[in-house]
Structure 1
Amino acid sequence: MAVRVTQNMLNSNMLRNLHNSMRNMDKLQDQLASGQKIAKPSDDPVVAARGMFYRSSLMENEQYTRNVDEAKSWLDMTDSTMDEVGNVMKRIKELLIYSGDGAISPEDLKTMASEVQELKNHLGTLANQQINGKYIFAGTDTNKAPYDAAANGGKGDFVNTNSSLINLEVSQNVFVTSNVNAQNIFNFPDNANNMFKLLDNIITELSNGRSAAQFQQKADQQFDKLLAERASLGANVNRVELIAERLKTQEVSISDLMSRNEDANMAEVMTDLKTQESVHSAALGSGARIIQPTLLDFLR
């Protein structure tokens, strides 16, 4: 059975096809202007879902990178401070050896006592080293100074007993330590015989005009422990640097995957747009022939 095609049907089909053509051109023009395959999730739910996943992964990677940067800052500050502590201990060891020289006068020994006192004060300053307002040798009590100049009868002592480590997450379920156990440095082997108490004993002997050479072994033990802790710190620094490099590589990989998923192929889009413009022009041309002539066309 034949279907009668009316003029209204021709006009409706022509308008519908023109609308579809314009809609396709609008979509291609949006892709060309934005550089993105989709403008809203309904354009392609799969691309949108993958894009959300990649963005979430990128945000996590950025947070891990910030944690690594913070850990590196703490470790670098700790390393430089421990290096300075080592230099102080070297000088003290030199003074202890020098004090054993029988030709040294009591007055010279008292002068040496003054120098050791200043070195001790400097060690107290180093023990209270801060980064971003937090004490790096206080364990998790980062808001309390670990060295108190008024402790031990005004002589000054390391009063912190917190040995907890600060861990930062640098990958999923992967943590790194950003500080050191200061008890192994300033409170070694215990608070009664720590670094500052040793210096107090040295100062007492030298102030009385006596040699303090008998403390050389204990000073060596303190220095050796400091070197061991610094070696452990160096291993931790190396690990953090390797993690930082891996996070940089992951950032590039995730960004590349996100670009492949969302970015439009500009050459392909421009070609499709040119093709669609040709189709639209052809549709307009055929539409001009379909529209029914009016009475005015016959009255010319």
Structure 2
Amino acid sequence: MINRVTHQTVQRSTLGNLQQNLSKMADLQAKMSSGKNINVPSDDPAGASDMLRLRGEQRAQTQFARNADDGNGWLTTVDSALTSSLTSMRRARDLVVQGGNGGLGATSREALAAEVDGLRAALLEQANTSYLGRSVFAGTSDAGVAFTDTYVFTGTPGSGVERRVAENTSVRVDADGAAVYGEGASSVFALLETVSATLRSGGDVTSHLAAMDSRFESMLTQVSGVGARQNRVQDAQSTLLETQQSTKAQLSAIEDVDLAGIILELQMQEVAYQGALGAAGKVLQPTLMEFLR
């Protein structure tokens, strides 16, 4: 049996093919102008799903990097304050040893006591160090300072400021002021106040050396802990940088076009379209208007 082919059938088939060619050219031009392989999810449903997943990972990585940068700022501030405090404590200890010299007169002892008072004030200032308006030694407290002028610790006991630097990794970025400096009558501030009073009264100031050494060791322990935590944050920053670059490369492989390949494909499609137009001009039935010309 022979199928009947009419001019109308040929016209429809030819116009349909031309329309497909135009549609393909339009898609290629859209990809070339946008630089993206996937402009709408229907272009590649599987690829679009992967893109959404990778973009979600990118947002999480960006937040983790922001947290790590903030945490590093906190820990740097804490480390700087503790380093200054250790320097002040070393100087205070030297003054105590110097004050133990029984040959010092009242004027010399007064001068030593005045310097100790200055070191105590410096320590109190260092203990109230803040980062972005928050005390780095007061935990989650919003009191503004970690210690009052009467050496009362205003921090929240047992609390700590943490930053999540990876999916399952959080790092504490502050320090416990009570553990570093003590509090109230047992604080380093009260100790230095007692030292200066002993110097002025002519007593045996070296009796305070053991207490000063104990407080110095507490500060050293905290400095060590802060250093270890800062290393974790910096390691997380390095890992995040590598992960972000990897995720960006994966996303680019899915959505970015091969510009040279697209241009070549578009040129080939244009040639095919021009050929189809030439063939259509010979196949399509002339219209009445063309006869009238």
Aligned equivalent of 2:230: 237
Give the corresponding residue for 1:205: 198
**Deviation sequence 1:155-177 (CA, Å, 0-9, x none):** x4545462322222111121111
Amino acid of the residue matched to residue 247 of structure 1? L
Cα-Cα RMSD: 1.7
Preserved CA contact (<8 Å) 1:99 1:109:
yes
Cα distance in 2 for residues equivalent to 1:118 and 1:199: 10
The Cα shift of 1:234 comes to 0.9
1:191: Cα distance to partner? 4.0
User: Given the alignment of the two structures, is residue 96 of structure 1 paired with residue 96 of structure 2, yes or no?
Assistant: yes
Say whether the 8 Å CA contact 2:96–2:209 is kept in structure 1: yes
Q: Match for 1:172: what amino acid?
A: E
1:175 correspondence with 2:170: yes
The one-letter amino acid of 2:225's match is S
Task: State which of 160, 164, 181 in structure 2 corresponds to 1:165.
Answer: 160
The 5-angstrom pairing of residues 27-38 of structure 1 reads: 27-38=27-38
SS of structure 1 residue aligned to 2:285: coil
The structural deviation recorded for 1:49 is 0.5
**What SS is found at the alignment partner of 2:83?**
helix
CA distance in 2, matches of 1:106, 1:124: 27
Counterpart in the other structure of 2:251: 258
Partner of 1:218: 211
Is the 1:157–1:197 Cα contact (8 Å) retained in structure 2?
Answer: no
Q: What amino acid is aligned across from residue 274 of structure 1 in structure 2?
A: Q
Bigger shift: residues 266-275 or 92-101: 266-275
CA distance in 2, matches of 1:295, 1:60: 67
**Structure 1 CA distance for aligned equivalents of residues 292 and 198 of structure 2:** 129
Q: Which amino acid aligns with 1:117?
A: D
Q: Distance in 2 between matches of 1:246 and 1:25?
A: 43
TM-score (norm 2): 0.94
Change (3 A) 1:159 1:116: farther
Deviates most, 212-221 or 126-135:
212-221
Q: Does 1:75 align with 2:59?
A: no
Q: Does 1:184 align with 2:171?
A: no
Cα distance change, pair 98–47 in 1 and its aligned pair in 2 (3 A): same
Check conservation: 2:165, 2:236, Cα contact below 8 A: yes
Unaligned runs of 5+ in 2: none
Percent identical pairs in the alignment equals 29
- 5+ residue gaps, structure 1: none
1:275-300 Cα offsets, whole Å, 9 max, x none, are: 11111001100111122234565667
Moved more, 98-107 or 71-80: 98-107
2:268 maps to a residue whose letter is T
One-letter code of the match for 1:66?
Answer: R
| Distance in 1 between residues matched to 2:239 and 2:156, nearest whole Å | 36
Of residues 192-201 and 48-57 in structure 1, the stretch that sits farther from structure 2 once superposed is 192-201
- TM-score under structure 1 length normalisation: 0.92
Cα deviation 1:254-281 (Å, max 9, x = unaligned): 0011111111122221221111111100
* Cα distance in 2, alignment partners of residues 294 and 279 from structure 1: 25
Structure 2 SS opposite 1:16: helix
Instruction: Report the AA paired with residue 205 of structure 1.
Output: T
Residues 92 and 277 (structure 1 numbering): CA distance in 2 closer, same or farther, change over 3 Å? same
Alpha-carbon distance between aligned partners in 2 of 1:244 and 1:258, rounded to the nearest angstrom: 21
- C-alpha separation between the residues in 2 aligned to 1:283 and 1:277? 10
